[in-house]
Amino acid sequence: MSRIAACFARLRDANRGALITFLEAYDPDPATSLAILRGMPAAGADIIEVGMPFTDPMADGPTVQAAGQRALKAGATLAKTLAMVRDFRKHDATTPIVLMGYLNPIDSYGVAEFCRDAEVSGVDGLIIVDLPTEESDLILPHSTKHKLDFIRLIAPTTDEARLPVVLNGSSGFVYYVSITGITGTRVANADEFGRAVPLVRRHTDLPIAIGFGVRTPDQAANAVRAADAAVVGSALIDTMVKTLDENGRAGPETVSSVLALVRDLADGIRGARSAA
Amino acid sequence: MTHIDSKTAGAKTGETYPANSLRTGPDERGRFGQFGGRFVAETLMPLILELEAAYNVAREDESFRTELDLLLKNYVGRPSPLWFAQRLTERLGGAKIYFKREELNHTGSHKINNCLGQILLARRMGKTRIIAETGAGQHGVATATVCALFGLPCTVYMGATDVERQQPNVFRMKLLGAEVKPVTSGAGTLKDAMNEALRDWVANVRDTYYLIGTVAGPHPYPQMVRDFQAIIGEEAKAQMLEAEGRLPDVAIAAVGGGSNAMGLFHPLLDEPSVKLIGVEAGGHGIDTPAHAASLTGGRPGVLHGNRTYLLQDQDGQILEGHSISAGLDYPGIGPEHSWLHDIGRVEYVPVTDNEALEAFQLCSQAEGIIPALECAHALAHVTKIAPQMKKTEIILLNLSGRGDKDIFTVARHLGVSL
């Protein structure tokens, strides 16, 4: 069983939703970013999304855009992002790692080579924002061969007729984009995703995560009442940014403040179903 | 290379192409060879498919074409004239040089051809808000113009750097009632404006139509914009036959994203006697990092919804293009150009900022036509090849825009303060 499937099976037995946390690799620097990554599981993250920095993140709001800029300035490349996952795996064999980003750096690396190196580095799944189902044959044979889950995004604009098309070839979990918009700019409406998630559920047995627009422990709790996981990204980065100095350098509070929010989010999720 | 049924491809109503035609692309996946495609977030995917379906219905609809033709005639002033540039021809002492005068169109460039086509489509789709990206501001002005004409609210994204260097066009857009949003991310040029327009579209996908100005972006944009611009080449072909009784030996145009060039080239692709030349922005020189020659200096990748040649580093990070012309400094190019480059049908050459500046002045003084800096790049290449050609040979140049917008930039480079 894959790490992602094992994680969701364990949480299902415990009747608990999953907390999926996001960080941009190398933001604001390699050491701080690795320290946050290593600290996230103990703080309560069940699955971690690692952002692969890209110059032109078209689906991201200002927070993740700025994170990508800091990361690139700090020397991030796709190869170094994979190396960071390898470093993480030295001390953690169970927490699933999902890489999230855009196609061009992967295309430039070589799709086959990237999937091979991702597997070797201990990556469990991929989310490639600008690779819709219609173009996914580019990567699917390679990701399947290297046991990488190919996680698809479902948007509020995806109608029911299209759902089977998008879900065909999906694995790991389904990522429900809970707002029409870019990351970190709107708050997800619980009524809306409350209606949408059961519809998606009719077409898949995979766990469903809600992301884009989940920021607080309360919102994360709402998300796991409707779905199986909540993804939090921009809120963690915003918290980190508050600790940076005027040159964007990490301070003494940088790692601990991010992990403190992870802990609060985890508490929110743990209380969600018992309080419901 | 495989060829597909012309019914699904770029043919206009009732038009069919021979089996070995180069005009049948894109295929049903929106590809020209390996280039093109639909690389967008899922949020946009349903809309892209809806747009494709709506376009396929519209292009087969006689009433759509009739309405567009009437607007092109009475609002734009088409057909644009073909001008024999006699003094420039004499000056260069070789081939006869003709200009296709797209700069005489309403709004001063070829951009309006496409904007009218797309705004009719947006109206058919029931969209109530228009967004666009612009570099030099020509597409922004053309979009703001058609939005005024059709009474639709318009938001134009423009890189902050471009807002600075294209003030007259910014003011024009505002006069026309558009909102101009300066984009400060990246280098604040066309690439960043396109990112921001895509972000706006994702957030407002239900009521908003994204009016892309060039032959790039996800399918069906490269095909659709090309089809709306192909009137340039169709008219020029007939006008050349009337003026000279034959087609030109060379057809040449500047290439940023590539819409004016594709509009000229596409109707000529199946005419093997016509050599086609696209002129890229060589900036400070393609041996420097400061250029925007995607084909000469880039390699294939994926950006803004399509696979095409891009300026990128080893890690696949996109580089900033540079050109004296704000309309050319885009690090990518339309996917059909990438394909035409790879199969060798079109030759793509770079021209530097300085060469373009010289041609800008030459054209102004020899012909009494101040060309856009974009076209000055194509003109610069004409000054190189025309003297090498026979006096009986013919060059057709697409003069795609007028240069009024560029006088401040040119003055600054010539050390003149206005």
Distance of CA B316 to the CA centre of its chain: 25
**What does the pLDDT read at residue B211?**
98
From B294's Cα to the closest Cα of chain A, the distance in A is 15
Contact map slice: B 156-195 vs A, CB within 8 A: 185-186, 191, 195
**What does the pLDDT read at residue B5?**
41
> Is this prediction's pTM over 0.90?
yes
pLDDT tier for residue B12 given thresholds of 50, 70 and 90: low
CB contacts of B199 in chain A (<8 Å) are 58-59, 61, 182
Q: Which CATH superfamily is domain A3-275 in?
A: Aldolase class I (3.20.20.70)
Contact between A55 and B185 using a beta-carbon 8 Å cutoff: no
Bridge partners of B84, per DSSP, are: B98
Distance of CA A218 to the CA centre of its chain: 19
**Which amino acid does the sequence have at B52?**
E
Contact between B39 and A159 using a beta-carbon 8 Å cutoff: no
Residue B151: how many CA atoms within 13 Å on its side-chain side? 0
pLDDT tier for residue B15 given thresholds of 50, 70 and 90: low
A130 is catalytic: no
B111 is catalytic: yes
From A165's Cα to the closest Cα of chain B, the distance in A is 11
Average pLDDT rounded to a whole number, residues B198-219: 95
Strands B82-84 and B96-101: antiparallel
Comparing alpha-carbon positions, the chain A residue that sits nearest to B304 is A58
Comparing alpha-carbon positions, the chain A residue that sits nearest to B305 is A130
Q: Is the pLDDT of residue B13 over 70?
A: no
Q: pLDDT tens digits, residue range B140-192?
A: 999 999 999 999 999 999 999 889 888 889 999 999 999 999 999 877 888 99
∠ CA A217-A223-A225, rounded to 5°: 105
Comparing alpha-carbon positions, the chain B residue that sits nearest to A54 is B317
Average pLDDT rounded to a whole number, residues B113-135: 97
| Sequence-distant contacts of B355-363: CB under 8 A, at least 24 apart | B355/B282, B355/B380, B356/B281, B356/B324, B356/B325, B356/B380, B357/B324, B357/B410, B357/B413, B357/B414, B358/B383, B359/B383, B360/B403, B360/B406, B360/B410, B362/B88, B362/B91, B363/B88
- For A150, the 3-state DSSP assignment is strand
Cα–Cα dist B323/B297, whole Å:
14
Contact between A153 and B205 using a beta-carbon 8 Å cutoff: no
Q: Say how many C-beta atoms besides its own lie within 10 A of residue B216's C-beta.
A: 28
Identify which has the larger pLDDT, B329 or B95.
Answer: B95
CB contacts of B191 in chain A (<8 Å) are 56
Contact between B43 and A129 using a beta-carbon 8 Å cutoff: no
Comparing alpha-carbon positions, the chain A residue that sits nearest to B203 is A181
Q: Is A151 part of the contact surface with chain B (CB cutoff 8 Å)?
A: no
ipTM of the complex in this document: 0.95
Q: Which of A64, A128, A134 should one mutate to test binding to chain B, selecting the residue with the greatest count of B CBs within 10 A?
A: A134
**What does the pLDDT read at residue B4?**
40
CB contacts of A105 in chain B (<8 Å) are 315-317
Sheet with strand A229-232: strands edge to edge: A149-150, A125-128, A97-101, A47-51, A18-24, A229-232, A208-211, A174-177, A153-154
Cα–Cα dist A64/A72, whole Å:
12
Low-confidence ranges of chain A (pLDDT < 50): 276
Q: Is the peptide bond before B79 cis (omega within 30 degrees of 0)?
A: yes
CB contacts of B315 in chain A (<8 Å) are 77-79, 105, 108-109
Q: pLDDT tens digits, residue range B56-70?
A: 999 999 999 999 999
The separation between the first and the last C-alpha atoms of chain B, rounded to the nearest angstrom, is 54
CB contacts of B203 in chain A (<8 Å) are 180-182, 185-186
**What does the pLDDT read at residue A181?**
85
Q: Is B207 part of the contact surface with chain A (CB cutoff 8 Å)?
A: no
Q: Which of B29, B31, B45 should one mutate to test binding to chain A, selecting the residue with the greatest count of A CBs within 10 A?
A: B45
Q: Is the pLDDT of residue B326 over 80?
A: yes
Q: Is the pLDDT of residue B386 over 60?
A: yes
Distance of CA B295 to the CA centre of its chain: 15
Average pLDDT rounded to a whole number, residues B286-296: 94
pLDDT tier for residue B1 given thresholds of 50, 70 and 90: very low
